[in-house]
Chains A and B, each alone.
Chain A
Amino acid sequence: MNVFIEDNAPVIVQGITGHQGMTHTARMLKAGTNIVGGVNPRKAGETLQFEDAEGNTVNVPVFATCQEAKDATGAQASVVFVPPKFAKDAVVEAVEALFEVVVVITEGIPVADSAYFVELALRKGVRIVGPNCPGLLTLPETADSNGVNLGIIPDGIVSRGPLGLVSKSGTLTYQMMEELSDIGFTACLGAGGDPIVGTTLLEALQAFEADPKTKAVMLIGEIGGNAEQDAARWAAEHMTKPIVAYIAGFTAPEGKQMGHAGAIVSGGKGTAQDKKDALEAVGIKVGRTPSAAAELMREVLASQA
């Protein structure tokens, strides 16, 4: 078992026939992900054609429902590219079909809808990643297996190595992957920039702590909420592996939403400084820039060797 999901896991895509769904299904297949089906009730019965990493044609059948897709293909995960208006129903359907992992890429889902499907998933033991996230990338455990690329994380930046990465931001994830591409990763998880997400920074740390192959974790946070503080508190008591962190938004003004729905300092709470202080208080080093954080990670790894 790799982190979060096993290698070569079969995957379906919800909203596969839309522009985003088509573009990223093609990309994910090129990256070696085992996409075995899609869901769109209005296009059920159709077969879509893509190419895999070797350029061979892949036929991807479209099903009416998640349950049908799962029954027919044995898919273990779903990636959701459904627009905000319809996202709640789509994710609830995926959770009820009991996929192991449901990755929600969609940005702009009302927080009441996210709260609903996240709570449902927690009760049913389904892991949701996102919403408003770049997705989940795992690097293959063995030379003859394929990791999964679930979402929109660019392929080919990194290869297998000892690091775990969890981040609230998409492009900062890619930036950090690039900074540490020579060392490599077990998995990179975009937790998402919304106020309520299915996998928190804390839960990502738990998964990396449980994974024997991950040796250290890079955590990327940003202003808003308490996810970094919650993660720091948990790590202080339970984490045996070193963590290095980077926090974005030290110069963000009070009361202004900085792009992500969750990235807002309100009533003096959720500042980058508070998060940095909370992490440093439990011995987690925090870099001033992404490059500085990457440098700290190199030092941590060197001191362990």
Chain B
Amino acid sequence: MDLYEYQARQLLEEQGIDVPKAVFAQNSHEVAEAAEVIGYPVVIKAQVKIGHRGQAGGVRIAHNRDEAILVAEDILPMTIHGHKVSGVLVTEAKNILHEYYVSISVDRSSRDFDVLATANGGTEVEEVAKQHPESVKRLHISALEDFDLDAATKMAESIGFYHADSNQAAQILLNMWRCFKENDATLVEINPLAKIGDPDDEDSKTLCALDAKISLDNNAAFRHDGWKRFADPIVPDPFEQRAREHNLHYVHLRGEVGVIGNGAGLVMSSLDAVAFAGEDQGTGVKAANFLDIGGGASAQVMSESLEIILSDPQVESVLINVYGGITSCEQVALGILEAIDQLGASKPIVVRFDGNKAAEGLQILADANTPNIHVCKTMGEAAALAARLGAHGKEEQQ
């Protein structure tokens, strides 16, 4: 789960890392009030869980109340790269002398944690790594060991913090590590970690986290009270919301073919197969969603899943692709019929069963003799038929 900047900075602040004064606001009145408290000029930053918001006009400076209200009214209704702005962070403007980048993340390849830092901060670290690979320093922390002040100091010195800052930088790295561990984060990134202050006054210079990105491990929610304090104020997609209430793995996509399967890999593979078929047939038809009913799904789970899919107005046809391992195709068949019965659904449903109780499941469907159920022998045939029926439905609507 990604956090908003205003939530991420709160976690850094809890570990004693300096952040600028800031207030989260959700309307122009709150923005003006916050700016009065902080003092002009202020930076007003869109709160969205996506990068490059600056280029999209989501970060602006305001020098007085009128400007602050205008900027707030500009940014608050924005949708940036498909993400609706949830509010703005009103922050004090700082005089930036230099920008660094520091992050700690899970390293999937080396199966440990990765501290990354460079004195060329402020931009995407991937870009820096391409242009100045020598400036990016990396340190691995084993899951069996800890990150201590010694290691943090060495790291801080290696990236070329100006001498006076390296003690503070080391402390920040150490506090970031605590933030990472204590919150079960998968990423803690400060970019920029800025040196701020009066260029002519050495004593005024200090390091401050001007922007932060934190991702938390969904699997660890059970030991953090379900991450309740980070509940997203943006109402999620209504279909994703319904699926979540039923504990289903669902992702809403833009396409015509509703897809249901068991197992994440098989469902992903089904989405690809539908899109390839749409390409081959020249219709450009794609999957409308990802929905994994999981292992050992009951008829009820299947029926709820199909109800969610069929309530999506963009869905013209449905592909149900099940390889029964623990899951019984018999249960899946019963669930399909139950949903059709309850909804009186007439959209075409293409079914492919294999594995556990596949013959029994197909028999149940055959006995029901429902005209809109089509059975295919292989996943490829099923995806092709579902794509064709999806394109047909779309044409009829137009």
Using a CB–CB cutoff of 8 Å, the interface residues on chain A facing chain B are: 23, 84-85, 108-112, 115-116, 118-120, 122-123, 134, 152-154, 157, 167-175, 178, 193, 195-196, 220, 222-227, 230, 246, 248-253, 255-263, 267, 272, 288-291
Q: Which of A108, A119, A171, A175 contacts B142 (CB 8 A)?
A: A119
Which chain A positions have C-beta within 8 A of B137? Answer: none
Which chain A positions have C-beta within 8 A of B342? Answer: none
- A112 contacts B217, CB within 8 Å? yes
Which chain B positions have C-beta within 8 A of A167? Answer: 265
Given known A119-B112, A226-B109, contact A172–B251 (CB-CB < 8 A): no
How many angstroms between the C-alpha atoms of A253 and B266 in the bound complex? 16
- A288 contacts B276, CB within 8 Å? yes
17 contacts between A and B (CB under 8 A): A111-B184, A111-B220, A112-B217, A119-B143, A119-B144, A120-B144, A167-B265, A175-B379, A222-B264, A248-B268, A249-B272, A250-B275, A256-B251, A259-B249, A259-B265, A259-B267, A260-B264
Given known A152-B295, A171-B263, A193-B264, contact A225–B109 (CB-CB < 8 A): yes
Using a CB–CB cutoff of 8 Å, the interface residues on chain B facing chain A are: 50-51, 106, 108-109, 111-113, 126, 142-144, 181, 184, 186, 217-220, 222-223, 249, 251, 253, 261-269, 271-276, 286-287, 290, 292, 295, 323-326, 354-356, 378-380
Among the interface residues A169, A263, A289, which one has the most CB atoms of the partner chain B within 10 A? A289
Identify whether the interface residues of B are mostly helix, strand, loop, or mixed: mixed
- B262 contacts A112, CB within 8 Å? no
Which chain B positions have C-beta within 8 A of A152? Answer: 295, 325-326
How many angstroms between the C-alpha atoms of A251 and B186 in the bound complex? 25
Given known A112-B184, A259-B292, contact A223–B108 (CB-CB < 8 A): no
Given known A119-B144, A195-B106, A261-B219, contact A223–B268 (CB-CB < 8 A): yes
Q: What's the least CB distance linking A54 to chain B, in Å?
A: 22
Q: Which of A110, A175, A255 contacts B323 (CB 8 A)?
A: A175
Q: Which of A84, A112, A174, A258 contacts B181 (CB 8 A)?
A: A112
- A227 contacts B143, CB within 8 Å? no
Q: What's the least CB distance linking B4 to chain A, in Å?
A: 14
How many angstroms between the C-alpha atoms of A223 and B267 in the bound complex? 13
Given known A222-B268, A260-B264, contact A115–B251 (CB-CB < 8 A): no
- A175 contacts B272, CB within 8 Å? no
Which chain A positions have C-beta within 8 A of B218? Answer: 257, 261
How many angstroms between the C-alpha atoms of A193 and B51 in the bound complex? 26
How many angstroms between the C-alpha atoms of A93 and B273 in the bound complex? 43
Which chain B positions have C-beta within 8 A of A230? Answer: 109
How many angstroms between the C-alpha atoms of A39 and B269 in the bound complex? 37
- A263 contacts B143, CB within 8 Å? no
- A110 contacts B268, CB within 8 Å? no
How many angstroms between the C-alpha atoms of A222 and B265 in the bound complex? 7
Which chain B positions have C-beta within 8 A of A226? Answer: 108-109
Which chain B positions have C-beta within 8 A of A291? Answer: 378-380
- B268 contacts A263, CB within 8 Å? yes
